[in-house]
Amino acid sequence: MKTFYLNGQKYSTNDNFSLLDLLSYFDYNLSLLVVEYNSFISTKKDWNQIMISDNDKVEVVTIVGGG
């Protein structure tokens, strides 16, 4: 069992999945995100290669336009 944190909330799983899988599962609009993975900004091209591991910390900031 591995534990990870998404926006400060703790989750546990036995599954193996990528950062892209995680973002898709939580139904984020992938074109409007900034993702911090273990204190580093992650580029979109790396999301499919980053595998979620025990004690990983993911912070997602959505970009919202307005006027």
pLDDT in tens, 12-33: 999 999 999 999 999 998 988 9
Contacts of 19 (CB under 8 A, 6+ apart): 35, 37, 42, 46, 47, 48, 50, 51, 52, 58
Tracing tokens 């591991």 back to the chain, one arrives at 53
**pLDDT (mean) for 31-59:** 96
The domain covering 2-62 belongs, at the CATH homologous superfamily level, to Beta-grasp domain (3.10.20.30)
pLDDT for res 6: 98
Spatial distance between the Cα atoms of 15 and 32, rounded to a whole number of angstroms = 26
What is the band of 65 on the pLDDT scale with cuts at 50, 70, 90? confident
Q: What are the structural domain ranges in the chain?
A: 2-62
